[in-house]
Amino acid sequence: MPKPHFLPGLTTGFTPVIDAGFSSEDYQHIDLSVHNPELSQAQLDTPEALQDFLNEFLRKKGGKVAWGGYNEHRALYKRSGLFSSAEDEELIRNRHIGVDIWVQAGTRVLAVLDGKIHSFQNNDNFGDYGPTIILEHETEGEVFYSLYGHLQKSSLEGLAVGQKVRRGEAIAAVGNTSENGNYAAHLHFQLILDMQEKSGDYPGVASKKDLQFFLNNCPDPDLLLKIS
């Protein structure tokens, strides 16, 4: 598996993955982990309840975009059998291995780097990504991938595998609850070193048992975004 030593140097300073009209000062880091005493299970059980929590968080912080979630242990996925059907606690998928950008539906999604479309599909299970685009990138002889999930269905129209994209180009828009897997509106952004022959989809939440593998294969996206 290639090492991500090359990733930080691919961007210099704050690099937006959503509409460039937002500055880094508009972003507020949010804790949606099981360790946040201000977040109850009831606030996670419906998209509407979570959206209310996000709105209040941003109101208090004076921000416009909530972000975070890499390597975060969450209770958010308890409501979906896609993640929580395993009987062994070690096998329940509840560790988030991408970054979430919580923002209004319809917000434009930007390619973080030059690349080409590797694959795309609508992962329309309850609690899944919904419409998803995966880009392929190459630098210093290393190939890696970026995944954009929870998009509008219309974002997949007219796409073709191999289609080139440019850094900063609008490639999609954030989907609403009815099309994004049943979540409050947000973008899931994830880096992947080895796609493991998958297409149009790749796990964005890992079990405790498999966490180290996925953290190695999916480096922190803030290496590129440089929000923090």
Which pLDDT score, from 0 to 100, does residue 5 have? 85
Question: Which residue range forms the structural domain that includes residue 118?
Answer: 4-225
User: Domain count of the chain?
Assistant: 1
Q: How confident is the model at residue 127 (pLDDT cuts 50, 70, 90)?
A: confident
Q: Are 151 and 207 in contact (CB under 8 A)?
A: no
Range among 76-80, 118-122, 125-129 with highest mean pLDDT value: 118-122
The DSSP output letter for 15 is: -
Model pLDDT for residues 192-216, shown as the tens digit of each residue: 999 999 999 999 999 999 999 999 9
Global pTM reads: 0.94
Token duo for residue 5:
């030593």
What is the pLDDT of the chain when averaged over all its residues? 93
Residue 84 has pLDDT above 80, yes or no: no
Q: pLDDT tens digits for 88-120?
A: 566 677 899 999 999 999 999 999 999 999 999
CATH number at residue 103: 2.70.70.10
Residue given tokens 């190459």 in the structure block: 138
Q: Is the pLDDT of residue 78 over 80?
A: no
CB 5 within 8 A of CB 175: no
Assess contact for 168 and 110: CB atoms under 8 A: yes
